[in-house]
């Protein structure tokens, strides 16, 4: 993890708190979420290339995504784009 710049008048309190562990956990979790989202988008691309939405009886891939994983239609369109 990159050195965190503390914007507080008492950085010793931060380093003595759970702050370092929690911020490191956050950085890890965000990295994992980004990797998972990259995989989601890869699968969406495969669904799109294979016209799976048509085979499943949906008029568009965003409609299939909305029904399948209950993502908001606007978000489903962004995934496809």
Is the whole model's pTM more than 0.85, yes or no? no
Give per-residue pLDDT as tens, 55-65.
Answer: 999 999 999 99
Share of the chain above pLDDT 90, in %: 81
Give per-residue pLDDT as tens, 28-39.
Answer: 999 999 999 999
Q: Which residue has the higher pLDDT, 6 or 81?
A: 81
Number of helices and strands (H, E) in the chain? 5, 0
Q: Which residues of 43-81 are buried (b: 16+ CB within 10 A; e: fewer)?
A: ebeebeeeebbeeeebeebbbbbbeeeebeeeebbebbe
Give the pLDDT band of residue 16 (cuts 50, 70, 90): very high
């Amino acid at each position: 993890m990159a050195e965190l710049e503390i914007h507080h008048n008492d950085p010793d309190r931060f380093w003595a708190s759970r702050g370092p562990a929690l911020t490191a956990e956050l950085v890890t979790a965000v990295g994992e979420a980004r990797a998972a989202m990259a995989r989601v988008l890869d699968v969406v691309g495969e669904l799109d290339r294979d016209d799976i939405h048509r085979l499943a009886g949906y008029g568009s891939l965003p409609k299939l995504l909305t029904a399948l994983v209950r993502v908001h239609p606007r978000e489903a369109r962004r995934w496809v784009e």
